[in-house]
Amino acid sequence: MIYSALWWPIELKEELASLGFNDSKALTEEQRENLLSIIDSLRGKLVFYQIKELTAEYISTSMNNNKNHINLNEISHQSAL
């Protein structure tokens, strides 16, 4: 499971929005790759991003832990914070 966030200065809202950023599930793989290239070229200058990957092992261990049993919704919520 992958979580990511991207943010930029409000002054760039229109310019960057016109590049086609959208829900990644609605984009083709090629569109995502092109947008990632744009993000990488601007990283630290105009845009900032963070990516968090939850491995299957982490999810399984978290859900099956007898002491701190949590469900997938809680794991998802905690990861998005």
Taking only the tens place, the pLDDT of each residue in 10-44 is 887 787 778 776 666 778 888 888 888 887 887 77
Of 49, 59, 50, which Cα lies nearest the Cα of 1? 59
Name the range with the highest mean pLDDT among 26-30, 46-50, 52-56, 66-70: 52-56
pTM greater than the 0.75 cutoff = no
Q: What is the mean pLDDT of residues 33-58?
A: 82
The pLDDT of residue 40? 81
**pLDDT at 81 exceeding the cut of 80:** no
